Structure 1
Amino acid sequence: MQHGKYRFIVGFLALPLALYALFVIWPFIQSIYYSFTDWTGLSPDFQMVGFDNFSRMLEDDVFWKSLQHSLIFVLLLPLVTLSLALFFAFMLNVGGRRRKNAKNAGAITGVRGSSFYKIVYFFPQVLSIAIVALLFQFAYNPNSGAINSALKAVGLDDVQPVWLGDPDLALWCVMAVLIWSTVGFFVVLFSAGMASIPNDFYEAALLDGASRITTFFKITLPLLWDTVQSGWVYMGILALGAESFAVVQIMTVGPNGGGPDYSTIVMPLYVYQKAFRDGQAAYATTIGVALLIVTLLFAAIVMRLGRRERLEY
């Protein structure tokens, strides 16, 4: 029976693993191989050049700018997004006032209208990231955008930033859009996790006179830690991947985005520019290999630092 069971498991997993190896693992291997060549991406002819692409990458100022911006994203985006999502989810599920009537006295509840707020927070997830980027590109327009128009309406005519045209502000404008577009997903995710925590824990804390802050750090966060850790890794991958690429390319100025003066360039966008704009596919795959290493290091560090004893309830 045991032999038959293992044979069934192997047969069941063989096709999915083969597809995963073909469409995920094999492209990684190809990218690493092409990073040691001079392939242009247009011609089938290429030669091995050894570590020349890696040497060039280490001397490329734009690459270091893109790496710096990607690291800012991967450090700050998960921190800000998950912190806001935890706060909103806690208020929507646990942060309401105590009921005044005797029947529900001491009951755990969210703020009034919490169901409506969940829909509002989740709404950006319904929109494509390209649509979100276009909407905010119009909002950031220094001449006719909604933000500067609102500043004028409240009498702040002298405060009219260029936003995406300012090298000192553009990166933070892009980051704000990424936070706005993703925080709702984690609000719903954390709300589902908080709904599974027994109310007895919160009721006991209320009887002991615990404040909301104490309840959050002593009950909610420890019991929700596995979900937070997974969300941190997922958000970091988004910050290093397609989300940051799409927003930066659509919103920012310059050839194929990344401006002004490479002030918003990120690694995925730089890979795209080198491969499809400049016809340097081999060098683009070299930057892609560096991006892969950064992503794996980030995931490993988060999983290692976030390791703690599992709490069951």
Structure 2
Amino acid sequence: MRKGQYRFVAGFLFVPVALYVIFVIWPYIQTFGYSLTDWKGQSQTFDFVGLDNYKALLRDDVFLEAIWHNILFLVFIPVITILLALFFAFMLNAGGRGKAGGVQGVAGAAFYKIVYFFPQVLSLAILAVLFNAVYRSDGGGLLNGALIKVGLVDADNPVEWLNEPNLVLWALMVAVVWQGVGFYLVLFSAAMQSIPKDVYEAALIDGASRNQSFFRITLPLLWDTVQTAWVYLGIVAMDMFVLVSSMTQNMGAYGGGPDHHSDVMSTVMMRNFLYYGKSGYACAMGVIMLLLTLVLSVVTLRATRRERIEF
């Protein structure tokens, strides 16, 4: 590249890079700086305390429990969402078989894609309102009402889905998976449509079953897309602030009830930052969240890395 071209490229990159540094990198640096102080949030004066906030995190049972909850979300949300999305995408694109041996999706595949994708257009606030109605702890709730109708639940003693320590995390997972499956179904469908039909037809001629077609053809050719989806869902699992704070909002500041059994790192951080006024301490939590998310992304990309398959 000639010298003039370097200046031309640098001129185009200067403004976006400067904006990225100012609005993305600099706030991270500020957060780390505040995490080393006893900043109260409202005051402009604070004292340097070194690593005291990080040492306190190691003794904070609420924050440590919140990390465990994020780990549970990290394990189950990506696995369930990706498996369901892959299954539905495969059925909609290659689940049917033509009379002449060709490969096609199930009947009405285009309509099903719209139906499955519909939850993705709902905001998280609307999703929280919707599932609060589903999980109402009386006969008026959709889930309790259905269970009462079929006789699985006593009308005088309905299940308190969001107030039961052993159920609240699973209730939140269902909401996240319900919303996310449609998006990843469309993502995987787009990737599947780029796979030549001849590949599937050759496998059918060789006597491959539907399961063999999926595991030997579809999944290997979609691995890069699955890997990307896993990283994004992992980031979702590391956050969960909006749903937890909205769906469990009557159980304490910024949700987390009952008795911190649904707390995640983000709700504990916001509670300390805005409710308790321990802003420097909350910044230390934010730094830990950033580091864990980066480690998660790197580990996931390396653990799922495999030789790229060309077709």
Deviation at 1:5, TM superposition (A): 2.1
1:86 CA displacement = 0.6
Correspondence list, 1:273-284, <5 A: 273-284=271-282
1:230 maps to 228
Number of the residue aligned with 2:116: 121
* CA distance in structure 2 between the partners assigned to 1:174 and 1:66 by the alignment: 14
Q: Distance in 1 between matches of 2:264 and 2:77?
A: 14
In the TM superposition, what is the alpha-carbon distance from 1:53 to its structure 2 partner?
0.5
Backbone CA RMSD of aligned residues: 1.1
Report the counterpart of residue 106 of structure 2 in structure 1.
Answer: 111
1:155 pairs, out of 151, 155, 164, with: 151
- How far, CA to CA, are the matches of 1:157 and 1:226 in structure 2? 44
Distance 2:49 2:20 in 1: 30
Deviation at 1:217, TM superposition (A): 1.0
Deviation at 1:55, TM superposition (A): 1.0
Shift of 1:134: 1.0
Q: Is 1:254 matched with 2:251?
A: yes
Per the TM alignment, residue 157 of structure 1 is displaced from its structure 2 partner at its CA by: 3.4
Report the AA paired with residue 279 of structure 2: A
* Distance change (3 Å), C-alpha of 1:199 and 1:66: same
Matches within 5 A, 1:230-309: 230-241=228-239, 244-252=240-248, 253-255=250-252, 256-309=254-307
Percent of pairs with identical residues: 53
How far is 1:2 from its partner? 2.0
Deviation at 1:17, TM superposition (A): 0.8
Superposition map of 1:176-215 within 5 A: 176-215=174-213
Give the structure 1 partner of residue 135 of structure 2.
140
Give structure 1 stretches of 5+ with no counterpart.
none
Residues 159-187 of structure 1 show CA distances to partners (whole Å, capped at 9, x for unaligned) of 83211010110011001101101111000
Residues 1:22 and 2:28 are matched in the alignment: no
Number of residue pairs matched?
306
- State which of 213, 217, 220 in structure 2 corresponds to 1:219: 217
Q: Greater CA deviation, 159-168 or 204-213? A: 159-168
1:139-158 Cα distance to aligned partner (Å, 9 max, x none): 10111211110111222233
Question: What letter matches 1:196 in structure 2?
Answer: S
CA distance in 2, matches of 1:204, 1:3: 52
Q: Secondary structure at the match of 1:165?
A: coil
Q: What's the secondary structure of 2:277's corresponding residue?
A: coil
Q: 1:99, CA displacement in angstroms?
A: 2.3
> What's the TM-score once normalised by structure 2's chain length?
0.96
